[in-house]
Amino acid sequence: MPDYYETDAQVNEYLVFHYASKEQTLPWEFGPHQAYGFHARLAECIDAAQLPAGSRALDLGCAVGRTSFELSRYCEEVVGIDFSHAFVDTAARIRQSGEIPLLLKREGQLGDAVTNQLPDGVNPERVAFLQGDAENLPDSIGRFDAITFANVLDRLPHPRRALEKLADITNPGAQLVVCSPFTWWDEFTIPEERLGGFLRDGEEVTSHDSIVSALESNFSLQSTCDLPFLIREHERKFHFSVAQTSIWVRLDNQKI
């Protein structure tokens, strides 16, 4: 896997994506304003009323941590895992200080340095960040009652392997949210390992088809939806995406 997510530029871009205000992110009256606040909307896909007491949550592919902190509003323990050392180190510093220094790029080398704060109501003391591989999670990680697995599948060498691991780390009744825009790049996933976006025996195969196939023996599909998100590169350039999202519940068919 390339070191794309280890650079200072990517760390800053994701800090803005996770923690910049709506006005800081998109300083124009026009544009896709509904795409703001992706991480809070993602965490809200978990039904807090259905979580057991003392629930554990996993934010798999946590990047710089916003969803992990959002899950801490109603989960007693949250583990955020990302493959990027730079992302995990940054998230851990935010956990300790509660402060998010970021650069709002305007043009070229010009930009505005600001320091934002963690949002009100989160519980950073409940959160831990670990560097790890979604395809090879250790048994010591334990089991979870809620998992968000967002915008990661199309950045893995073997995404099916990661999906198949989810049954081993969830309790009966656990809620699972899987979402991705399915932007398949050769640098991350060779065509033979992709979940969808191709023809097989003359039939279209979509990534959602493969997710259902990988999960349906251990999870019950509850609903699907589309979650837009917006990543700011600089004041006049943005990346607008729509993540196809499926929400699942773990079946009570496992041996504990």
pLDDT digits (tens, 9 = 90+) for 113-137: 999 999 999 999 999 999 999 999 9
Query: Tens digit of pLDDT for each residue in 11-70?
Result: 999 999 999 999 999 999 999 999 999 999 999 999 999 999 999 999 999 999 999 999
Query: Tens digit of pLDDT for each residue in 179-217?
Result: 999 999 999 999 999 999 999 999 999 999 999 999 999
Average of pLDDT values for 145-159? 97
Q: Which CATH fold would you assign to the domain 4-250?
A: Rossmann fold (3.40.50)
Please name the helix (run of DSSP H) or strand (run of DSSP E) that holds residue 59, with its range, or none. Answer: strand 56-60
Per-residue pLDDT band at 4 (split at 50, 70, 90): confident
CA angle 168, 176, 156 (to 5 degrees): 70
In this predicted structure, what is the pLDDT of residue 87?
A: 98
In this predicted structure, what is the pLDDT of residue 3?
A: 83
The pTM score is 0.95
Residue 10, judged by CB atoms within 10 A of its CB (0-12, 13-18, 19+), counts as: middle
